[in-house]
Amino acid sequence: MDVTVEKKLQDLWKLQQIDNKLDNLKAVLGELPMEVSDLEDDIAGFETRVNHIQEEITSLDTEVANKKLAIKDFQRLIDKYEDQLNNIKNSREFEAIDKEKEIAGLEILSAEKKIRDYVKQIESRNEVLTTTKASLDSRKADLEFKKAELTEIEKENEEEIQKLNKDRENAAKKIDERYFRAYHRIRENMKNGVAVAPIVRGSCGGCFSKIPPQRHSDIRAHYKIIDCEHCGRIMVDQHVSGIAAFAEAKEEKPTRRKMRLTTAK
């Protein structure tokens, strides 16, 4: 029943290769959902600004309308004072009414100035509104594009990810619980998620430090599981990895474009 060290290493190596593929697929997908959610945040921000500016414009419009009504009222007052002035008896009464008329005239001037101020403010708000709406529209177009791209890539990768997850399940079943935990512990500590590294030209394929000759032959002997002295990754020799000149798995991440070329038939 005892599983040989060589078999254990082979199973761990297999699991590592499946995880490498899954990590690569997730890395490719990883950027897009983030870009989509950034754009959604941007759009929400611009929509809030557009609404706010529109509210400001509406309230300025109301102010203008109110001032116009006030001007009409003062104009009616002035008309009334003029009628009274035409039928006045004494000069004291004349002066009093004339004073009222003058005040109403000043009120109209002041209201007209206010209206000019409001109109200027409305104009500048409208300019800001136009540029904000343009930014909003361009973000919306970007979002539509990115969402379509994301859906497409997800569809393309979905099948592959499902297959890899199944492979992973099967590969994990063959591995002793203790090694499985160790594998994950090492993997979590590595930026590139590589816990099982091949020997590449006499060095650790994970951290590239030289492996002493004695350790190298111990690894080749498969009498026990041996880790890299420097990074702690589990070492596998060429016999297990099947890799002579190994360019480190995670070093060459496929770009999104490359990914799509390789997944498309």
Tally helices (H) and strands (E) across the chain.
6, 3
CA dist 74 to 69, 116, 119, 177, 225, Å?
A: 9, 18, 21, 91, 98
What tokens were used for 112?
């007209």
Distance separating alpha carbons of residues 26 and 148, to the nearest angstrom: 18
Determine, following the binding rule CB under 5 A, whether residue 190 of this chain makes contact with Zn ion: no
Find the part of the chain contacting Zn ion (CB under 5 A) among 42-50, 129-137, 188-196, 231-239.
231-239
Determine, following the binding rule CB under 5 A, whether residue 193 of this chain makes contact with Zn ion: no
Q: How far is the CB of 160 from Zn ion (least distance, A)?
A: 29
Determine, following the binding rule CB under 5 A, whether residue 204 of this chain makes contact with Zn ion: yes
Q: How far is the CB of 52 from Zn ion (least distance, A)?
A: 56
Q: How far is the CB of 132 from Zn ion (least distance, A)?
A: 53
- Return phi, psi of residue 75, to 5°: -65, -40
Determine, following the binding rule CB under 5 A, whether residue 236 of this chain makes contact with Zn ion: no
Q: Of 191 and 257, which CB lies nearer to Zn ion in the complex structure? A: 191
Find the part of the chain contacting Zn ion (CB under 5 A) among 42-50, 91-99, 112-120, 229-237.
229-237
Beta strands in 113-248 (DSSP E): 196-200, 203-204, 234-236
Determine, following the binding rule CB under 5 A, whether residue 206 of this chain makes contact with Zn ion: yes
Find the part of the chain contacting Zn ion (CB under 5 A) among 75-83, 84-92, 145-153, 225-233.
225-233
What tokens were used for 216?
């190298």
CB atoms within 10 A of CB 220: 16
CA dist 43 to 118, 134, 150, 207, Å?
A: 29, 11, 18, 43
Cβ–Cβ under 8 Å, residues 78 and 104? yes
Determine, following the binding rule CB under 5 A, whether residue 207 of this chain makes contact with Zn ion: yes
Find the part of the chain contacting Zn ion (CB under 5 A) among 58-66, 184-192, 198-206, 239-247.
198-206
Residues forming the site for Zn ion (CB under 5 A): 204, 206-207, 228, 230-231
